[in-house]
Structure 1
Amino acid sequence: MSGSVGLARVLEPAGVLPQAAWRLDASPEIGPDEVRIRVQRLNLDAASYRQLAQKHAGDGAAIRAEVLAIVGDRGKMHNPVTGSGGMLIGVVEEVGPESPLQVKPGDRVATLVSLTLTPLRITDGLRDWDGLGEQVPADGTAILFGRSIVGVLPDDMAPELALAVYDVCGAPALVDRVVRQYSAPTVLVLGGAGKSGSLSLAAAKRAGARTTAIVVSAAERDALQRTGLADEIAIADARNPVAVFDAAGANDITVVCVDVPGCEHGAILATAPGGTVIFFSMATSFSAAALGAEGLAADVTMLVGNGYVPGHAAFAVDLVRTVPAVRALFEARVAGD
C-alpha cells in the first residue's frame, strides 16, 4: 500500500499522504510502481493563479519567482494560501515494472491528479513563461504513483486545449450524475462563463436541466449568451448572497465554479429545500458552507467536487468535441492565456 499511494515520497511530516504533506521527494529515480513524466506544461488552477496574481499586482516576473519557490521548497506545486495546485501535461519517460497505469514511454499524457500531490522538479527556471497566465511552459520531471490517474492526450485537440479541459473534467461528469437523479431540474451555475462553469452548463443541458448562470460582468454575459448553454444569465457578485438569490431564485441544483472565496452562502440560499449544492471551487471554505447551511436552516445536500468520477476525462472531451460553443469558449480562454 505505501508505494501505491506515494508514502515513500513524503519527507515531512511523517505519516501523511502526499497531498497533505508539506514537502515531497521529487527526485527523478522511480520506484517499481511509479511513472516518470517529462514535463512540458503546467496548468495552475484558477484559484491559485488568481491569488498569486493579486498578491503580486500582476507582476509576471514576481509570479514566476513565487511558483519556482513553492515547487523548490515543497517538491510539488501546492499553493500554501489556497491549498490548490493544478495539473500538467508531458511525455512518459519511464514506467516501473509494477506500475498499473496503462501508459508506455513516449505517450503524451495529462496527469488527472492534482499538482498538490505530484512530486515535481522544475529544471528550466520557467524561462519560457511570462507569469501572465494559468498555462505554464516548463521543463522538468513529475512522478505518478500506482493509484494516480493519467490520460493520453486526444489526437484531435491541441495540447493546450486538452490540458484546459482535463484540468476541470471532474465537474461536468459529477453534474451529469447529480442532474440525472432529478426530473427536469433547474440548475444554477455560479461562474458559468469559466472552464468548469461552461462544461457544467453543457452537461446539465444535455441531461435535461433548465440552466441559469451567474457571471460577474457584461463581457462574460455576452460571451455566454452567444453559446446558448444557459437559458438565463444574470450579472451578480457571487459573494453577495442576497444578490445571488434575487438574480436566480431557488434552484434544485447549484454548482459553484467561482475562483474567489466567499460564495458559499449565496449558493446555499439559492438552492431549494431538498436540493443539492456542488462545490467545485478550490476557494471554498467548507466550514463556512457547513455553518452557513446550519444558520440558514437549509435542508440541502452539499457535495465536494473531488475532481474524479469514473470516465470523467472522456466525458469532458466528448462535450468539447460535440458542443461547438464549449470548444469556442475554451479556445478563447487558452488563447488569452
Structure 2
Amino acid sequence: MIDRRGGTEAGLHRVLEPAGVLPQAALRLDASPRIGPDEVRVRVERLNLDAASYRQLHTAHGGDPDAIRAAVLEIITTRGKMHNPVTGSGGMLVGTVAEAGPDSPLGLKPGDRIATLVSLTLTPLAVTDGLARWDGRSEQIPAEGHAILFARSIAAVLPDDLPVPLALAVMDVCGAPALTHRVVAGYAAPSVAVLGAAGKSGTLALAAARRAGAARVVGLVPSEREEKALLATGLADQVVRADARDPVAVAAAIGAPVDVTVVCVDVPGCEHGAILATAPGGTVVFFSMATSFPAAALGAEGLAADVTMLIGNGYVPGHAEMALDLVRSIPAVRASFTARTGADSAQ
C-alpha cells in the first residue's frame, strides 16, 4: 500500500528508499499501477535512453546486445525506474494514457499518446515483456509496461505530423535548443561554439543559436565522418575537428574565443576545453549528463576564467514546441534526426 499522506505532487510517496528524498535521488521507487488522485498511469510503448547512459552500457558490455538488454532490465526491475547507477541518467518514454486521476493538473486524458518530458530517473516504471523486442543496438527501446506521472511531471501529446521515433528523439533533447536560444539571445550578435555538434542535442543547439541571432556558429566534432556530415547540413558556419576531452586541442580548433559555448558531448572530461574556448564574460552551457560540476567549477577557477556556467536542466517553458518547430522548419535538422531514427514514415 502506498502512503499518500504527503508529497504526492512531487512523488515523494512513491519513494521506497531512502526515506525523505525526492524520486530522482531515490534508490528504489514504488511502480505499482494503482494511481492516486493526482497521478497518471501511462501504458508504455517505447523508452528512449539518454546518450550518456546508452554509451556507458554499450561500453561496459562490449556492445553485446543481449548483455545490454539484460542490464537495462535489471536496472528497471531493481530500482522501479530507469536510473543508470553509473551515469546517474535515464531518458524518457512514449506511451498512451491509460488512466488519469481526477486531481491531475497535467490535462491528459485516457487515449492521449504522449511523450514524457521528465527523466526516467524519477519516473516509476515497470516493464512486462522483458524488453524482448529490443535488439539492444539503439537508444530507443520498444517496451510494454506502465509508468506513473506525478502532478509536477511534464508530458506532451505527440504531434500527428511526425513519426513517433522522430518525435521521441527530438523531445528527448528539447531542453538544449530552448536554453541555447535564451542564452544566445541575451548577447548582441554573439559567436557560438557547440561541442558535439553532430549529435541530437548539438544539431538542435546549432539551429537554435542561428535563430537567436548568432553571428558566427562553430560546430566541433570528433571524427572526419561527422565533420563531413555536419558540413553537408550547412547548420554551422565552420566545422572543426578535435577531441572534446583535450582542452588545448579544443581551444586551438575553435580559434578566437566565443561568447557562448554549448557542450553536448556524452562522454566525461569535456569541461576544461569548453572553458578555454569561451571568452571572458561569456557563458558555457553544459548539456551532458557526463558533466562534472567539480571539474567545471575548479577548472574555471584554476584558469582564472571569468565565465558564467549553466547546467541545462532539460526544462524551459515551451521547449518541446520550439524543438519540434526547428525540425519542421529546417530540412537539414529533420534529415539529421531521420538518419538517426530510421525511415521517416515509421510510426
The verdict on a shared fold, with TM-score over 0.5 as the criterion, is yes
1:4 aligns with 2:14: no
Q: Which residue of 2 aligns with 1:176?
A: 181
The CA RMSD measured in Å over matched residues stands at: 0.7
1:211 aligns with 2:208: no
Q: Cα offset for 1:208? A: 1.5
1:288-307 deviation per Cα after TM superposition (whole angstroms, max 9, x unaligned): 00000000000000000000
1:17 aligns with 2:22: yes
1:168-208 deviation per Cα after TM superposition (whole angstroms, max 9, x unaligned): 00000000000110000000000000000000000001111
> Of 288, 305, 319, which residue of structure 1 is paired with 2:326?
319
1:270 aligns with 2:294: no
1:183-241 deviation per Cα after TM superposition (whole angstroms, max 9, x unaligned): 00000000000000000000001111110011011111111111111000011000000
> Of 117, 123, 135, which residue of structure 2 is paired with 1:118?
123
- Distance in 2 of aligned mates of 1:207 and 1:226: 22
Q: Which residue of 2 aligns with 1:295?
A: 302
User: Partner letter of residue 218 of structure 1?
Assistant: E
User: Partner letter of residue 301 of structure 2?
Assistant: E
Q: TM-score, normalization: structure 2?
A: 0.96
- Name the SS of the counterpart of 1:291 in structure 2: helix
- Name the SS of the counterpart of 1:281 in structure 2: coil
Misfit runs of 4+, over 2 Å: none
> Of 144, 158, 162, which residue of structure 2 is paired with 1:157?
162
> Of 132, 136, 146, which residue of structure 1 is paired with 2:151?
146
Q: Which residue of 1 aligns with 2:95?
A: 90
- Distance in 2 of aligned mates of 1:11 and 1:31: 16
- Name the SS of the counterpart of 1:226 in structure 2: helix
Q: Which residue of 1 aligns with 2:251?
A: 245
- Distance in 2 of aligned mates of 1:216 and 1:244: 10
1:234 aligns with 2:240: yes
- Name the SS of the counterpart of 2:35 in structure 1: coil
Q: TM-score, normalization: structure 1?
A: 0.99
Percent sequence identity is 73
User: Partner letter of residue 18 of structure 1?
Assistant: P
Q: Cα offset for 1:49? A: 0.1
- Name the SS of the counterpart of 2:342 in structure 1: helix
- Distance in 1 of aligned mates of 2:171 and 2:156: 9
Q: Cα offset for 1:111? A: 0.1
- Distance in 2 of aligned mates of 1:301 and 1:61: 43
Unaligned runs of 5+ in 2: 1-5
- Name the SS of the counterpart of 2:283 in structure 1: strand
User: Partner letter of residue 198 of structure 2?
Assistant: A
Q: Cα offset for 1:94? A: 0.1
- Distance in 2 of aligned mates of 1:170 and 1:102: 21
Q: Cα offset for 1:126? A: 0.2
Q: Which residue of 1 aligns with 2:202?
A: 197
- Name the SS of the counterpart of 1:138 in structure 2: strand
User: Partner letter of residue 207 of structure 1?
Assistant: A
Equivalenced residues, count: 336
- Distance in 2 of aligned mates of 1:6 and 1:100: 14
Q: Cα offset for 1:41? A: 0.2
- Distance in 2 of aligned mates of 1:235 and 1:92: 44
Q: Cα offset for 1:327? A: 0.2
